[in-house]
A and B are shown apart, each in its own frame.
Chain A
Amino acid sequence: LTPTVEAVAAERVADVAANDASVTIDAQALRAEVGDDDIFLQLCQLFLQDAGSLALELAEALAAGDMERLYRAAHRIKGSVSVFHAPRAVARFGKLESAARAGDMGIIEMEYQASRRVLDSLVNQIEVAQGAKAA
Chain B
Amino acid sequence: MSAVLKQEQKFGNAALKVLIVDDDPPTRLMLGTLASQLGYRTVYAKNGETAISVFAAEQPDIVLMDMYLPGMQGDEAMTELRALSGERWVPIIFVTIAGEVGRHVATLVRGADDYLVKPVDQDVLGAKLEVARRTIALQRQVEEKTRELRRYRDDAENEMRMAKEVIDRLVHADRVADPMASHWILPAANFSGDLVAVARTPTGVLHVMLADGTGHGLSAALSVLPITPSFYAMTAKGLPIELIASTLNRTIREQLPVGRFVATTLVSVNSVQREVKVWNGGNPPLLALAADGTIQRKISSRHLALGIAPPESFDSEFDSFRFEAPCQLFLYSDGVPEGYEAAGETSGQAAVEALLLGVPANTRMKLLRSRLSARHLEQRPHDDVTVVLVDCSGGATVTATKADSRRPSAGTLT
Contacts and interface: CB of A to CB of B under 8 A. Distances in A.
Interface string B81-98: 000000000000000011
Given A33-B122, A72-B70, A79-B118, A46 B29 contact: yes
Interface residues of A, number: 23
Contacts of A78: 97
Contacts, number: 55
B219 interface: no
Interface stretch (B20-28, B291-299, B306-314): B20-28
A35 B37 contact: yes
Ranked nearest first, the 6 interchain pairs of A and B with the lowest CB-CB distance are A46-B25, A82-B118, A82-B119, A83-B26, A79-B24, A46-B26
Interface of A: 33-36, 39, 42-43, 46-47, 49-50, 72, 75-76, 78-80, 82-85, 90, 94
Nearest to B118: A82
B97 A34 contact: no
A76 B118 CA distance: 12
Contacts of A90: 97-98, 118-119
B68 A75 contact: yes
A79 B97 contact: yes
B99 interface: yes
Contact of B26 (A75, A80, A94): A80
A105 B122 CA distance: 39
A57 to B, nearest CB: 11
A36 B3 CA distance: 14
A3 B140 CA distance: 69
Contacts of B119: 82-83, 85, 90
A34 B33 CA distance: 7
Most buried by B among A39, A82, A94: A82
Contacts of A79: 22, 24, 27, 66, 97, 118
A76 B37 contact: no
Contacts of A80: 24-27
B30 interface: yes
B29 A94 contact: no
Nearest to A30: B30
B93 to A, nearest CB: 15
Given A50-B25, A84-B26, A85-B119, 18 more contacts: A33-B34, A33-B122, A42-B29, A46-B29, A47-B26, A50-B24, A76-B24, A79-B27, A79-B66, A79-B97, A80-B25, A80-B26, A82-B118, A83-B27, A83-B30, A83-B119, A90-B98, A94-B99
A34 B121 CA distance: 11
Contacts of A33: 34, 122
Contacts of B26: 43, 46-47, 50, 80, 83-84
B138 to A, nearest CB: 31
A82 B29 contact: no
Contacts of A85: 119
Contacts of A36: 33
25 contacts: A33-B122, A34-B33, A43-B26, A43-B30, A46-B26, A46-B29, A47-B26, A50-B25, A50-B26, A72-B70, A79-B24, A79-B27, A79-B118, A80-B24, A80-B26, A82-B119, A83-B26, A83-B27, A83-B30, A83-B118, A90-B97, A90-B118, A90-B119, A94-B97, A94-B99
